[in-house]
Structure 1
Amino acid sequence: MSTAPESTQHGDHQHFHRFLILGKEKLFFYHLALYNPAYGHNYQAVFTFEIKDDGSLRKMYLEDLKKNENNWVFYSLYCPDHFELPKLKEGKEFNVHLERVVVSEGGAKRDFQKMTTAVTKVVCKPADVLHFRELGGLEYPDYLTYLVFGEGQEIHLAHQLAKQPNWDEVVTVTPQQAIDPAMLKKVPTLVIESIKDPKDVIKESKLKKGQKYQGKINGSSPAIDFTVGRQGWWNHTSLNNA
């Protein structure tokens, strides 16, 4: 299996995308990005999709997640269909496989293990595109900054991909104060002023599981206290490859 976060045929630039699966109650999907625009994955994007099956893919994911809750294992939808990612903003139906992503070598190696034999149909409507930004043109922030999305007590933080080199991660957190659902749908930033941004690539998360932190929505809201839970993605290597 490939250890890169995206399978790509470089010669003819065919683009086969992966979307990280996040959550248990409501599923969210996070595109696995690469800075190099030649690969067609230079977008940080958050989605909600409709999975067109009888619930079997979701059940398989949740059952496997339960077994690996405390392991460095992630889950993704791998799309064998070729298309340019911005097409999703117009609405699109495509095929996926469920994958288990097993991480080793300190986060440097990822083994993508296909869990389904037949493809499953997924529908993305324009309203399912919660956040979509082409990488580039964003300076390093002063403080640790994440995109924030989710629902209720199951909130996800995705490290905002500013300048290169950088690292990509998603963690699920439990907030101590309610976050306005309408605000969450806009996928704002959460700024953690207690931690300076490294302005470089790092090899492990600044947010430690089980520890409490404070952040401000868009850097200006009243402080939100949260406890860090499971890490759902990490990449400090192939993200930055030329």
Structure 2
Amino acid sequence: MTTPDAASTDGSAAPRHGHRFLLIGTGTIFAYHLPLYFVPVHAFQMINKFGLDAQLRQTYLKDLSRYQTEQVYYSLFTEGHWPLAEIVDGTRTSLPVELERVTVDGEGRRTFTTILDPTIATCRKEDVVHYRPLDATEYPDFLTYLAFGQGTEVHLAHQLAAPRNWDEVITTVRPSGFQQSNLDHAGAVTFLGIKDPKGVIDRSLLTKGQSYEGQIGARTVTFTVGRQGWWNDTSLNDH
């Protein structure tokens, strides 16, 4: 099965089948798997780190600096529908990847354009931060995100529950109260002042430049919303 997010839309002649991982961050660069509810091989929410060569890292950071204020994302595309569990259990230690710039038009259509030819990324099971199948998890009562990152660079990914839903990753500004032990294992941040919409929405409930307070367990964390590193409310839910 091919969806707009599983196929190149940059003018190439034929659809491409494989996994995509969104690149998040500038210090420690994280890879966020592009999930799809109804495509079994992609029906996983996964956050991990890859070993990236110097050219790929430099190309990504340089291009990101050009589009920092625009709705432009970055992904690694790797050919083939192999099981993501191969990374988790350590049987896969490397994969060929192409760096893509992902642009979004006025109607929300994404175009994936290769900006760096294939290279090899390495992977280790100890670098998997979060891995969970998109099963029929009930919607939470309140908005919930997963926190990950390194040091003062903290990112939040919307915790996916039952379909239909939306997929989002943001980078925070001036985060406070987060502990590295939470970030290492994608601790859940609950926003007690924001009811979960229990369905799909077409824009973020977290406004860029606005400050928020959330809870990780009994501890309060605060942050200001920074750059959005991914958004999907369409192909995520396609049958």
**Global fold match (TM > 0.5):** yes
Deviation at 1:105, TM superposition (A): 2.9
TM-score under structure 2 length normalisation: 0.91
1:35 corresponding residue in structure 2? 37
Q: Amino acid of the residue matched to residue 224 of structure 2? A: T
Aligned residue for 1:101?
102
Aligned to 2:179: 180
Q: Which amino acid aligns with 2:4?
A: A
Q: CA deviation at 1:71?
A: 0.6
Percent identity, aligned pairs only, is 44
Deviation at 1:154, TM superposition (A): 1.2
Q: Which moved more, 1:93-102 or 1:77-86?
A: 77-86
Aligned-residue RMSD, C-alpha: 1.7
Structure 1 unaligned spans of 5+? 9-13
Within 2, Cα distance between the matches of 1:3 and 1:103?
16
CA–CA separation in structure 1 for the residues paired with 2:185 and 2:99? 27
In the TM superposition, structure 1's runs of 4+ consecutive aligned residues that sit over 4 Å from their partners are none
The one-letter code sitting in structure 2 at the alignment partner of 1:96 is V
Alpha-carbon offset, residue 85 of structure 1: 1.5
Residue aligning to 2:13: none
| Aligned equivalents of 1:146, 1:4: Cα separation in 2 | 25
1:115 paired residue number:
115
Q: Give the superposition deviation at 1:81.
A: 4.0
Q: How far apart are residue 137 of structure 1 and its match?
A: 2.5
Q: Secondary structure at the match of 1:179?
A: coil
Q: What runs of 5+ residues in structure 2 fail to find an aligned partner?
A: 9-15
Tell me whether 19-28 or 81-90 shows the greater mean CA deviation: 81-90
Which letter does structure 1 place at the counterpart of 2:181? A
- The 1-side partners of 2:233 and 2:84 are apart by 22
Amino acid at match of 1:241: D
Report the secondary structure of 2:85's partner residue. Answer: helix
Alignment partner of 1:237 out of 207, 230, 234:
234
TM alignment of 1:145-224, pairs within 5 A:
145-217=144-216, 220-224=217-221
Cα displacement (A) at 1:6: 2.2
